[in-house]
Structure 1
């Protein structure tokens, strides 16, 4: 077992209070956006080994099979295939989409061939991997529920919303959404939004935000209760991003509120954005992002339109399900092999320990209370709220024990690993 020392990324959209509250550290007044746990070269965690502190990526590179296990190396290669984060959004993140694996490989190879610098602000592909991800909401006293946008709403429903706003500049979008087949309608609508004359964007966004605010104060009318409850959030995007067509593109997407313990899975091609709140985020070990808006960063419209899946989707809120024949493990099911997220709720009334399989490499993160990890040799490691540990792959019969250690309070431990035989 290795206690992890982790890096906080200070992106401008980060909350100023959520991560300090989780970690029990003083707030600095500056944004603290993401706590990274893993072996990504951008901000690898540090572990203490016999020769002193070492980055986790260097430890794994020195002995891939010893740290990851032969099955993981054979399936995914000699690197940890996932990255675990705690994400704390005080302001909206960019509206974005991720490529699938083949698109990432081809895009990365093309930019390498053309000599695009890896750190160029206009580069799309930082690596040759895909970036499916899962976000699970945590308690946040300041933000309340975790808010986000995920996937296209059905075109006829969005047309009804836009028409109800009575903004003349949106009339063409309404016509496209009503008259074309779904895929064509969504593609043409997003293209129209992202290619709007910049001189017209500010006026359109301002008029739309004002109309959204008026509609939010009125009765739902023909709008569903779900859409009506999201109007204020859409209006806030317009006020925050007055010159950004992404504030209009956001209206094409489903609005989602996650309660603590609920999650979203985001596969390739699904446009999404996180708006506010704190959550545990698990993803493939990649940094490939194509942006649609809500950001001053580069937006490559032709490449974006090639990657996006133009179909309406249900956001599909996930809730944890018990794992059969496990010792209290609850799983967030996802159709991906590179990562697997589950949790253990350690009730103070239950004095027993829970067994955690260790045949695959994993990171354990305590988000509530205190947990004690005990290995087969009897060595123990205590994780307090916000602390994490890396567990290398072990052979069969060496399960880890986890026990809650918070008097009178529940402890929660998230487990990030891969989807091989557990």
Structure 2
């Protein structure tokens, strides 16, 4: 089985950039938001592969004959499905504040909704599969995000700086209650009140001006306040703005990554990045979205504890020229970045033979040639990706100046 070029779907969401993804793909902007380029075999938007009979969805090809596609180890661990999903994100304005479930929560939630007969495509469905959704995003340019609860005392200082009297009760709660209780109380009250049409919407409506003024006044929380001011302007009156105020603000440098595990609330605010995750589409939303918000289920899934953003800088791979890894504590995916130069005559080499598992290669800069052992050749340009089935013969990618990301599956540890 040779490596194959993927034809990847573009997902259009209101938060997407009107120019960034088109520019990345070398296409003319359509004038409409383009948010995500999906690379993988998720049944919601699978990539297409042409093996001589016309383009076929990758998920169907894997289901029809999973062993050569996945290899015996991946098939035994994850079943007949590609365990990861890769994306390019083009964030023009804030995504919804959201959280992802653990495997146990996803399995229970999926079973409960199946038992109630909720259609998989129903807009009020929470669980569209049984999988957890750990994810990692690696910035291609400056990338802004909100991630994890800030310590309660710091959030109380930030809310104080806004000078909005209606926030005073939550400031007191954050300063006096134990951390899990304080975070749960503020989030639950803000969302319940806001989605019920109460005072939270009025508070949220006052936040754009208050956050801008506090940021201009030189608050130590200047960056977070400026980010919240932008979010509040994009989503006036949305109760999710209160949730955003509780979270750490982080700006990723190009090449820096952010890992997100189960239960960690987060939102992406702006930028272009490569994202890789377990093959799931399970999302519980807090706000900043017209989509379904299930407050009781959200509160069951969120981990109410302060956490620092899990930032990951690339680590050189020993013995490999121009290869850097982004380690993540999951089995479903690995992510490495390769900067190819003429000093590396072997280029990117597919890892081993036989049971190495499936891989996807994405070119983010320059041009590269993928050379198969049987003499076949694929040219990858910026924005293009290739799929390497587990049974594909050993191959290598060569170039002078291209940058590629490789997504694979964590191998089983010896012993």
Structure 2 length as normaliser, TM-score?
A: 0.94
1:15 matched residue in structure 2: 17
Is 1:417 equivalent to 2:414 in the alignment? no
Within the alignment, does 1:237 sit opposite 2:231 as a pair? yes
Q: Structure 2 stretches of 5 or more lacking a match?
A: none
1:401 aligned onto 2:396: yes
Number of the residue aligned with 1:372: 369
Q: After the TM superposition, which residues 171-190 of structure 1 pair with which residues of structure 2 at under 5 Å, given as runs?
A: 171-190=168-187
Which residue number in structure 2 is paired with residue 128 of structure 1? 130
Q: Pick closer, same or farther for the CA change 1:285–1:22 going to 2, 3 Å.
A: same
Cα contact 1:173–1:192 (8 A) shared by 2: no
Correspondence for 1:31: 33
The answer for the alignment partner of 2:140 in structure 1 is 138
What SS does the corresponding residue of 1:330 show, helix, strand or coil? strand
| Count of residue correspondences | 406
Tell me whether 1:275 sits opposite 2:238 in the alignment.
Answer: no
Distance 1:44 1:181 in 2: 45
Q: Secondary structure at the match of 2:118?
A: coil
Residue by residue, what CA displacement relative to the aligned partner does 1:2-21 show, whole Å, maximum 9, x if unpaired?
A: 10011111111111111111
Question: Residue 110 of structure 1 aligns to a residue in which SS?
Answer: helix
Whether the aligned pair in 2 keeps the contact of 1:20 and 1:26 (CA below 8 Å) is: yes
For 1:114 and 1:300, the matched residues in 2 are separated by: 16
Q: Given the superposition, is the C-alpha separation of residues 239 and 53 from structure 1 closer, same or farther in structure 2, using an over 3 Å criterion? A: closer
Task: Tell me how far apart the structure 2 counterparts of residues 22 and 400 of structure 1 sit (CA, whole Å).
Answer: 26
1:289 alignment partner, one of 260, 283, 294: 283
Q: Which residue of 2 aligns with 1:142?
A: none
Report the 3-state secondary structure (helix = DSSP H, G, I; strand = E; otherwise coil) of the residue aligned with 2:304.
coil
Question: Which of 33, 39, 42 is the matching residue for 1:40?
Answer: 42
What is the CA distance between 1:349 and its match in structure 2? Answer: 5.7
Name the CA distance, whole Å, in 1 between partners of 2:54 and 2:226. Answer: 52
Structure 2 counterpart of 1:362: 359
Q: 2:208: which partner in 1?
A: 209
**Which runs of no fewer than 5 residues in structure 1 stay unpaired?**
140-144
Which shifted more, 174-183 or 349-358? 349-358
In 2, are the aligned partners of 1:367 and 1:386 still within 8 Å (CA)? yes
Contact 1:73 1:79 in 2 (8 A): yes
Provide runs of 4+ in structure 1 moved above 4 Å. Answer: 348-352
1:39–1:45 Cα contact (<8 Å) kept: yes
1:74, distance to aligned residue in structure 2 (A): 0.4
CA distance in 1, matches of 2:321, 2:341: 13
Give the Cα–Cα distance (whole angstroms) in 1 for the partners of residues 17 and 312 of structure 2.
24
Partners of 2:234 and 2:85 lie apart in 1 by 30
2:247 is aligned with 1:248: no
Could you tell me how far 1:327 is from its partner in structure 2? 5.0
Counting only pairs closer than 5 Å after superposition, residues 102-113 of structure 1 correspond to structure 2 as 102-113=104-115
User: 8 Å contact 1:327–1:355 — kept in the other structure?
Assistant: no
Query: Which of 250, 265, 283 is equivalent to 2:259?
Result: 265
Answer whether contact 1:327 1:356 (CA < 8 A) is retained.
no
1:152 counterpart = 2:154? no
Say yes or no: does 1:346 pair with 2:340: yes
